[in-house]
Structure 1
Amino acid sequence: MRLPIWIRQHLAALRALLVMTVILGILYPVAIWVVAFLPGLHHDAEGSMVKTADGRVAGSGIIGQAFTDSGGDPLKQYVQSRPSDAGDGYDPTATAAGNLGPESIVDTLPDPSLVAAGKEDENARTSLLTDVCTRSKAVGAIEGVDGSRPFCTPGGVGAVLALIGPRDAAGHVTHPTEVVSLNEECGVVNTPFVAAYQGVVVQCAKYGTDYADGEVVPVRGTAPAHPEVPADAVTASGSGLDPHISPAYARLQAPRVAKARGVPEQRVLLAIKDNEDGRVLGFLGEPRVNVLKLNIELDRKYPFRG
């Protein structure tokens, strides 16, 4: 007796489900599990854990971490990682990028009444430019170098003006009647980063004032074209979990780390060289330094006496 077509279709679907369950739900996972135990792969499969000299697990060699104190300040004896936008910083459960691009140059200023009350304005946002400027100034102060960058104010925010006035056919303001430093809020700064622009006195930005009619103009300033603070010291990676920094950023930190540990700077530079990886396959990417492995080597060879 031939079964009805709808029963045959359901039986075929059931057989396909069982076959795919066996293949994809049992055989494939088992095969991957077995492959993970092959020599050369097992370490990566276990999370690439890195241990200290006394056998403690210090972290993963493929996931970055911060080297800061309980207040979030950098520990002077350690080489610092790059910034992270993953959660509160290097949170593997919240891996993410800042998703801000080159056009992110104007801040959303905080409500001064909330700031005065010691509260945080949840609507306030800093632009990518201000993030870069703030970080560069901070790194410069920590490492004792010039932290200035093009298009940044000396105070560490984006140097951006709004020109208000009549416009030409191309939409540019020809003769500004008012000029505002958009990222310098009144009450926070007393004097804008530039006193005048095209003969017009520059004003600080007032919270709640709409400057949308103004032409936004970034001001380059006098900072060197090639800042002393490298780009990876002021920008987060796409995942927020990058365990590496550039050799240039590692070398920038060498004098501070050497002084904190009481050793010659050359020894820290040699440790940096020991932990430097070249380009993948010899031509992909850039040379890089694993921060965790470098700090473990520094702890092992030159313990911090505090």
Structure 2
Amino acid sequence: MRTPSWISQHLAALRALLVLTVLTGIAYPLVITGLAQAPGLRDKANGSVVEADGRPVGSLLIGQAFTDADGNPVPKYFQSRPSASGYSLDATSASNLGPESVQDTLGDPALKDSPDGDGGKQALLTQVCARSKAVGELEGVDGRRPYCTADGLGAVLRVFYTDGMSGKVTRAVSVNQACPATPFLAVYQGVAVECGKFGEDYGKGVLVPVRGDAPEQSAVPADAVTASASGIDPHISVEYARLQAKRVAAARNLPLDRVDDLIDEYTTGRALGFMGEPAVNVLDLNLALDRV
């Protein structure tokens, strides 16, 4: 008796399903897993997990915060670079903000005590300014940067002209400094500068970043104020590590030379000898300090 064609087709499909399931769902994963456990690959394949006192404390591949319960930096530890994702593995990401992100969204003063926040949002410029100010205060250096106010906001005006984009200045607003703040600049081209007000539309004004008198080269390096693309970069620059060395040495009662030597020891070179820059793995360095 001849098998109906539709049954033959279903049996062929079933055989193909079983063969492909064995090959791609069982054999292939087992082979790859076996290769990943080979010497030289095992640690990275397993997440490069680091243990201290018999318990896992992190991964050499994943950045983490070295802060207390209130989010303040722990003085005896080197700090990682900022993270747009809060070092979360569930939502690794960048902020997606670019160089044109200079004007903040002011929060609603009526919601300042709300657990959900006031609806305000910082532009990239203000984030950089605030981080640089905080790092400068923590490390005891000048954290000023160009286009930043003294209170750690983007130094940006919305300037209104008689002819739209040109002409005589009729109004100037420091849009990132919410009232009742005192504007970072008292007068702009003969017009008194106002503080920003929530809900007011300044879209017709021209955005004018003001450089200020900060030095051209800030004492706070770029990776101390900018997040990585993934949000979980485990490394910092050698420059940022050197900046933190004095604080860490003082907190641990160690000679500064000893801390500098550890920075040198845990500095990795450029990938393949030419890609990227030398960097320091923060977790590796902090664990080495704990062993001293």
Q: Which TM-score applies when normalising by structure 1?
A: 0.91
The answer for the alignment partner of 1:33 in structure 2 is: 33
Name the amino acid aligned to 2:147.
F
Task: Give the total of aligned pairs.
Answer: 292
Name the amino acid aligned to 1:280.
A
The answer for the alignment partner of 1:276 in structure 2 is: 267
* CA shift in 2, pair 1:297/1:17, >3 Å: same
Asked if 1:81 is matched to 2:80, the reply is yes
The answer for the alignment partner of 1:57 in structure 2 is: 56
Name the amino acid aligned to 1:138.
A
The answer for the alignment partner of 1:242 in structure 2 is: 233
Asked if 1:136 is matched to 2:136, the reply is no
- Deviation string for 1:169-223 (max 9, x for gaps)? xxx2331200000100112x1x211111111111101111110111111111121
- Deviation string for 1:215-235 (max 9, x for gaps)? 111111121221110111111
Name the amino acid aligned to 2:35.
V
Q: 2:108 touches 2:118 (CA, 8 Å); kept in 1?
A: no
Q: 1:164 offset after TM fit, Å? A: 1.1
The answer for the alignment partner of 1:102 in structure 2 is: 99
Once the two structures are overlaid, the 10-residue window that deviates more, 195-204 or 2-11, is 2-11
Take 1:16 and 1:227, find their aligned partners in 2: how far apart are those partners? 64
The answer for the alignment partner of 1:71 in structure 2 is: 70
Q: Which TM-score applies when normalising by structure 2?
A: 0.95
Taking only aligned residues, the RMSD between alpha carbons, in angstroms, comes to 1.6
Among 189, 195, 203, which residue is 1:198 paired with?
189
Q: How does 1:177-256 map to 2 (within 5 A)?
A: 177-187=170-180, 189=181, 191-256=182-247
Among 89, 93, 96, which residue is 2:90 paired with?
93
Helix, strand or coil at the partner of 2:19: helix
Q: 1:10 offset after TM fit, Å? A: 3.3
The answer for the alignment partner of 1:285 in structure 2 is: 276
The answer for the alignment partner of 2:16 in structure 1 is: 16
Structure 2 gaps of 5+ residues are none
Structure 1 gaps of 5+ residues are 302-306
Once the two structures are overlaid, the 10-residue window that deviates more, 15-24 or 76-85, is 15-24
Q: 1:246 offset after TM fit, Å? A: 0.5
Q: 1:46 offset after TM fit, Å? A: 1.8
- Identity of paired residues, percent? 58
Q: 1:42 offset after TM fit, Å? A: 1.1
Asked if 1:123 is matched to 2:116, the reply is no
Q: 1:4 offset after TM fit, Å? A: 5.2
Helix, strand or coil at the partner of 1:81: coil
The answer for the alignment partner of 1:304 in structure 2 is: none
Q: 1:19 offset after TM fit, Å? A: 2.0
Q: 2:50 touches 2:57 (CA, 8 Å); kept in 1?
A: yes
Q: 1:163 touches 1:173 (CA, 8 Å); kept in 2?
A: no
Q: 1:55 offset after TM fit, Å? A: 3.4
Asked if 1:114 is matched to 2:111, the reply is yes
Among 143, 146, 154, which residue is 1:147 paired with?
143
Name the amino acid aligned to 1:246.
S
- Deviation string for 1:95-136 (max 9, x for gaps)? 121111111111111111222x46553521111110110000
Name the amino acid aligned to 2:277.
E
The answer for the alignment partner of 1:165 in structure 2 is: 161
Q: 1:139 touches 1:233 (CA, 8 Å); kept in 2?
A: yes
* CA shift in 2, pair 1:118/1:17, >3 Å: closer
Helix, strand or coil at the partner of 1:272: helix
Take 2:3 and 2:212, find their aligned partners in 1: how far apart are those partners? 83
Name the amino acid aligned to 1:145.
V
Take 2:122 and 2:51, find their aligned partners in 1: how far apart are those partners? 38
Q: 1:173 touches 1:215 (CA, 8 Å); kept in 2?
A: no
Name the amino acid aligned to 1:148.
R
Q: 1:6 offset after TM fit, Å? A: 4.3
Name the amino acid aligned to 2:240.
Y
